[in-house]
């Protein structure tokens, strides 16, 4: 290949490869392989050693074997569905090559009579004769077959032979890329280059070897490319100059004194961090991360108050209408009636909405609450100074960048999430943002007592529930599925609703993913007003609504949920001043991992500890919310096993940022790892 220093070869279309036409390229796209670089990360599951050739008399039935033979006779039956057959021999015996769905002309071409041919495939025995059906490899050149061949998980229509041919072509033509890392970094991987690491990665004998230097080097590149992109986004946002907000400490103190609780140290520190950002001339792009019930909302509302006092408007977005309304009512309850606040929901009358939008555009509204609808094109702000988004874990890097751009230069961004996540994931997912963490729970917040119960002891649970209802308390009852499933032995929310409604007539309501928005909001409103006692629900009740009177949550088939999800569900109770309980119900035949998860939850109320343990047990891909979070789908790197590489990448990134090093030399790395759509103007 010409110009081997050019990394762009790796980003070219698959059809530029020999033997890859439009049909094959489309088949590869089904496996998310769009260019040559993508091919490199389709790793073999195992390999087959075809390097040793046997004589026919020594073949082992059921094994993949390689044999050199001479085709003697064709048998092409005219009866439909019968296979084509080629009789072959060596000096020790005879063997049939059987072909289904192969044309005569093709067979004659690959197995010409009286020529020595090497074949390889799975050996069987039929009618006192060895045979190989649809041989994997056939060639006059035995050296092409007598080697170790990788086996891949392939889409229908692409053979192992074809894929190996394609990948070998790519490996042979790998461009010689200049090294982008410093010597001190490369030393940690025994000085292996990117090119050499790729070659080693695809050697059959290295299949599944995650501990070798070549694997670690490539995993580090993957992690570091993400850190580079995040750093560039942070840098670009920090370069945006804005009008600083003037924080009125006196007014802030007056509000804090009026609260019926004391702020924790974490809350005070976080508020200081946010106020410094608001007060600076560079744009705030910050994530406020806190455990369930740690008091994030009051800090966000105080930040909104400070922004309004500085002459700017605020937009506060929540994922659901009921949560948006809850934030709106809390704001009205705490802050001065002189501050103009409004709520826009899907139920708002058109005439009311029109008035609100006009007032917003003419700066007659200080803060507006609502769902994502408040960021539609037709919504204009006169002087927007702060966007707050609650429960934002479904926002990926791209969406966050667009949000930052939409707000304009003078607009600060504060995102909140109640999903504590392990440090390695925080570095990866939220590395483009500054981070504030609230770990400490308010002293008034009582720990939730967590119990486990076998499902055949449901009578004991019902007795407990009756007593709670007698005390005027409310209960969440969570089930994994909406309806009965023949395949999965999970409890059904519908069936459980019918069962409980029988025991507690007119005291039970049902909520699930198929409940329409209007009905869902009505049910939640009635539950909030204590109009019924038991809410049977699927996991739709996870996100941060406060129901102070609900102090019990029962989770059926608790072993079917991840730890982080169970912790989020548990956080729906314990929001008032009553003692609260979480009952985890399960069957007797629990796996060791399920027992481990339940015990961890019973021992701890710390979401950060729980998320670390969850990731160790389940792997990072399944932790709550991250399948929708825009999390980079690493091909090699693993936040659990490669924690040392994440910390090394963080350290190296910090060194580069402090020394103002030009990241131009990392251009191939960033472009190759397909993140250039975010920072496509990199030098």
Summarised one tens digit per residue, pLDDT across range 383-423 is 899 999 887 555 556 666 666 666 678 889 998 887 777 77
Q: Tell me the Cα Rg of the chain.
A: 32
pLDDT, residue 274, reads: 96
pLDDT greater than 90 at residue 562: no
CB-count burial class (<10 Å; 0-12, 13-18, 19+) for 390: buried
- Whether the Cβ atoms of residue 279 and residue 245 lie closer than 8 Å to each other: yes
pLDDT tens by residue, 148-178: 888 777 777 787 788 888 888 999 989 888 8
φ/ψ of residue 341, rounded to 5: -125, 145
pLDDT, residue 2, reads: 37
User: What span, in angstroms and rounded, lies between the C-alpha atoms of 214 and 632?
Assistant: 21
- Dihedral of CA atoms 551, 552, 558, 561 in degrees, nearest 10, equals -30
Buried b / exposed e over 263-272, threshold 16 CB at 10 Å, is: bbebbebbbe
DSSP 457: G
**In what helix (H) or strand (E) does residue 554 lie, and over which residues does it extend?**
strand 550-555
pLDDT, residue 631, reads: 46
Least confident among 271-285, 292-306, 450-464, 559-573: 559-573
Least confident among 224-238, 331-345, 500-514, 609-623: 609-623
DSSP 313: E
Which residue do the tokens 């869902």 mark? 520
pLDDT, residue 235, reads: 83
pLDDT, residue 188, reads: 95
User: pLDDT band for position 4 (50/70/90)?
Assistant: very low
- Whether the Cβ atoms of residue 563 and residue 598 lie closer than 8 Å to each other: no
Please state, in angstroms and as integers, the Cα–Cα distance from residue 335 to each residue in 341, 359, 520, following that order.
10, 20, 29
Which residue do the tokens 């369930």 mark? 292
- Whether the Cβ atoms of residue 101 and residue 65 lie closer than 8 Å to each other: no
Per-position DSSP letters for 216-251, written without gaps between them: HHHHHHHHHHHHHHHHHHHHHHHH-B-PPPPP-HHH
Q: What is the mean pLDDT of residues 594-610?
A: 84
Which residue in 666, 676, 560, 633 sits closest to 32, CA to CA? 633
Give the strand order in the sheet containing 341-344. Answer: 341-344, 367-370, 313-317, 384-389, 412-417, 285-290, 434-438
Which residue in 237, 177, 32 sits closest to 678, CA to CA? 237
User: Assign residue 333 a region: left if phi > 0, alpha if psi is -120 to 50, beta otherwise?
Assistant: alpha
Per-position DSSP letters for 572-615, written without gaps between them: TS--SSS--EEEEEE-S---HHHHHHHHHHHH---HHHHHHHHH
DSSP 492: B
pLDDT greater than 80 at residue 621: no
Q: Which range, 251-260, 660-669, 673-682, has the best average confidence (pLDDT)? A: 251-260
Which residue do the tokens 């750093």 mark? 231
- Domain 51-146 matches domain 449-604 at the CATH topology level: no
pLDDT greater than 90 at residue 1: no
pLDDT greater than 90 at residue 608: no
pLDDT tens by residue, 444-471: 777 889 998 988 899 999 999 999 999 9
Which distant-in-sequence residues (6+ apart) come within 8 Å of 119 by Cβ? 66, 67, 68, 69, 88, 97, 132, 135, 137, 138, 145
**In what helix (H) or strand (E) does residue 475 lie, and over which residues does it extend?**
strand 474-478
Q: What is the mean pLDDT of residues 98-118?
A: 91
Which CATH code, of 3.40.50.880, 3.40.50.1110, 3.30.70.360, 3.40.50.300, is assigned to 449-604? 3.40.50.300
Which distant-in-sequence residues (6+ apart) come within 8 Å of 412 by Cβ? 242, 245, 277, 278, 283, 284, 285, 286, 307, 385, 386, 387
pLDDT, residue 101, reads: 81
- Pick 130 or 677 by higher pLDDT: 130
Which residue in 402, 413, 457 sits closest to 586, CA to CA? 457
User: What span, in angstroms and rounded, lies between the C-alpha atoms of 527 and 507?
Assistant: 10
Q: What is the mean pLDDT of residues 62-91?
A: 92
Q: Where are the domains of the chain?
A: 1-45+160-176, 51-146, 177-239+642-683, 249-438, 449-604
pLDDT tens by residue, 502-561: 999 999 999 877 777 778 878 888 988 899 999 998 876 655 567 888 899 999 988 877
The total of other beta-carbon atoms located within 10 Å of residue 246's CB is 11
User: What span, in angstroms and rounded, lies between the C-alpha atoms of 682 and 367?
Assistant: 37
- Pick 539 or 339 by higher pLDDT: 339
Protein fold of 51-146: OB fold (Dihydrolipoamide Acetyltransferase, E2P) (2.40.50)
- Whether the Cβ atoms of residue 119 and residue 69 lie closer than 8 Å to each other: yes
User: pLDDT band for position 495 (50/70/90)?
Assistant: confident
pLDDT, residue 541, reads: 66
Protein fold of 249-438: Rossmann fold (3.40.50)
User: What span, in angstroms and rounded, lies between the C-alpha atoms of 117 and 53?
Assistant: 12
- Whether the Cβ atoms of residue 28 and residue 14 lie closer than 8 Å to each other: yes
User: What span, in angstroms and rounded, lies between the C-alpha atoms of 53 and 67?
Assistant: 5
pLDDT, residue 483, reads: 55
φ/ψ of residue 84, rounded to 5: -85, 150
User: pLDDT band for position 630 (50/70/90)?
Assistant: very low
User: What span, in angstroms and rounded, lies between the C-alpha atoms of 219 and 666?
Assistant: 16
Least confident among 92-96, 300-304, 486-490: 486-490
The total of other beta-carbon atoms located within 10 Å of residue 489's CB is 10
pLDDT greater than 80 at residue 683: no
pLDDT, residue 677, reads: 54
Bridge partners of 525, per DSSP, are: none
pLDDT, residue 243, reads: 92
């Amino acid at each position: 290949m010409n110009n081997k220093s050019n990394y762009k070869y790796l980003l070219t279309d698959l059809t530029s490869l020999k033997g890859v036409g439009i049909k094959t390229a489309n088949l590869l796209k089904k496996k998310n392989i769009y260019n040559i670089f993508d091919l490199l990360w389709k790793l073999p599951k195992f390999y087959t050693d075809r390097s040793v050739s046997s004589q026919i008399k020594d073949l082992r039935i059921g094994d993949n074997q390689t044999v050199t033979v001479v085709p003697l006779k064709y048998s092409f039956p005219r009866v439909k569905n019968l296979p084509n057959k080629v009789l072959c021999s060596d000096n020790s015996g005879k063997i049939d090559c059987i072909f289904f769905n192969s044309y005569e002309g093709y067979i004659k071409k690959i197995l010409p009579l009286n020529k020595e041919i090497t074949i390889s495939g799975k050996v069987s025995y039929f009618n006192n004769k060895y045979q190989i059906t649809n041989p994997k490899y056939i060639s006059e050149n035995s050296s092409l077959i007598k080697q170790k061949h990788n086996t891949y998980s392939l889409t229908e229509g692409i053979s192992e032979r074809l894929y190996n041919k394609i990948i070998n072509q790519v490996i042979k033509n790998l461009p010689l890329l200049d090294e982008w890392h410093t010597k001190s970094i490369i030393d940690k991987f025994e000085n292996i280059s990117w090119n050499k690491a790729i070659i080693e990665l695809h050697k059959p004998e290295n299949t599944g070897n995650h501990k070798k230097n070549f694997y670690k080097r490539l995993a580090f590149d993957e992690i570091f490319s993400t850190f580079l992109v995040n750093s560039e986004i942070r840098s670009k946002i920090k370069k945006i100059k804005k009008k600083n907000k003037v924080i009125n400490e006196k007014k802030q103190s007056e509000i804090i004194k009026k609260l019926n609780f004391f702020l924790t140290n974490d809350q005070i520190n976080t508020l200081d961090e946010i106020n410094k950002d608001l007060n600076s001339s560079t744009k705030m792009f910050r994530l406020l991360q806190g455990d369930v019930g740690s008091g994030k909302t009051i800090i966000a509302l105080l930040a909104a108050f400070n922004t309004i006092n500085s002459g700017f408007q605020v937009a506060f977005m929540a994922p659901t209408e009921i949560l948006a309304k809850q934030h709106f009512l809390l704001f009205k309850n705490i802050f001065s009636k002189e501050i103009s606040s409004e709520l826009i929901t899907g139920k708002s009358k058109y005439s009311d909405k029109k008035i609100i939008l006009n007032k917003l555009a003419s700066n007659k509204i200080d803060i507006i609450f609502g769902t994502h609808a408040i960021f539609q094109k037709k919504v204009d702000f006169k002087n927007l100074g702060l966007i707050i988004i609650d429960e934002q874990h479904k926002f990926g890097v791209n969406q966050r960048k667009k949000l930052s751009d939409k707000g304009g230069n003078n607009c600060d961004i504060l995102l909140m999430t109640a999903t504590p996540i392990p440090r390695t994931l925080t570095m990866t997912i939220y590395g483009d943002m500054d981070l504030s963490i609230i770990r400490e729970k308010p002293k008034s917040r009582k720990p939730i007592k967590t119990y486990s119960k076998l499902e055949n002891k449901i009578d004991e649970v019902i007795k407990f529930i009756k007593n709670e209802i007698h005390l005027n308390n409310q209960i969440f009852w969570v089930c994994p599925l909406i309806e009965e499933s023949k395949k999965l032995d999970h409890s059904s929310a519908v069936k459980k609703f019918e069962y409980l409604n029988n025991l507690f007539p007119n005291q039970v309501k049902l909520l699930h993913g198929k409940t329409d928005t209007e009905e869902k909001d009505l049910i939640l409103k009635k539950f909030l007003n204590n109009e019924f006692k038991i809410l049977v629900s699927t996991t739709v009740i996870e996100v941060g609504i406060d129901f102070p009177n609900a102090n019990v949550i029962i989770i059926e088939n608790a072993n079917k949920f991840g730890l982080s999800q169970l912790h989020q569900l548990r956080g729906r109770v314990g929001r008032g001043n009553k003692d609260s309980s979480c009952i985890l119900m399960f069957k007797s035949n629990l796996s060791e991992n399920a027992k481990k998860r339940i015990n961890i939850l019973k021992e701890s109320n710390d979401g950060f500890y729980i998320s670390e343990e969850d990731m160790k047990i389940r792997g990072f891909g399944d932790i709550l919310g991250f399948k929708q979070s825009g999390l980079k789908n690493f091909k090699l790197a693993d936040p659990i096993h490669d924690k040392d590489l994440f910390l090394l990448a963080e350290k190296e990134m910090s060194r580069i940022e402090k020394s103002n090093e030009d990241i131009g030399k990392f251009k191939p790395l960033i472009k190759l790892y397909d993140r250039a759509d975010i920072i496509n103007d990199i030098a």
